[in-house]
Amino acid sequence: MEDVEYELEVEGLRVKVCEDVYPPSEDTYLLLDGVKVIEGCTVIEVGSGLGLAALKLAKRGAFTVASDIDPKSARCAKLNAWRNGLRPLIDVVTCDLLTPFRKESFEGIAFNPPYLPVEGEDPHWSGGSTGREVVYRFIEDAGAKLKKGGCLLLI
């Protein structure tokens, strides 16, 4: 995790990497490569961090939710939405995975989960004792939150 703030440009988006927020890395760019959108769809980036995928989806015309369990990450995603003029298309929510959302809320769900096998650590990294607990909890709920014919992208 970065202890300093810095800015970068990715796919025409100007983003601030805020202190104590998961910085973009290889898996972030895999997620960006995989996200596709049909204009007007409702999509969510779970575990959004600074919100890169959510920003890309909103820039392409999707109504987007950026969610993260970490309030600092949610604030950073909201800041980046404002910086890119996309705030009207992005709702930012602090929550655990998909718990607050209704059934069939989204045409698309994207998630780059924490996967390290550690418990009680930073939520940006910890996937539980085996590294898969967060993924299992997510998968348990994701199907119900997708609309019929929706798409799930899990990196």
Q: Whole-angstrom Cα distance, residue 62 to residue 60?
A: 6
* Paired tokens of 85: 């003029």
**pLDDT reported for residue 119:** 72
CATH 2.40.110.10 for domain 26-154 = no
Q: Is the dihedral of CA 58, 140, 50, 35 positive or negative?
A: negative
Give phi and psi for 96, each to the nearest 5.
Answer: -95, 110
Sign of the Cα pseudo-torsion (135, 141, 143, 148, in order): negative
Specify the length of the chain in residues: 155
**Grouped pLDDT means (10 residues each) for the chain, 155 residues:** 80 96 93 87 97 97 96 98 97 98 97 83 75 92 97 94
Domain ranges for the chain: 26-154
pTM (2 d.p.): 0.92
Q: What are phi and psi of 26, to 5 degrees?
A: -55, -45
The pLDDT, as a whole number, for residue 1 is: 54
Q: Are 64 and 58 in contact (CB under 8 A)?
A: yes
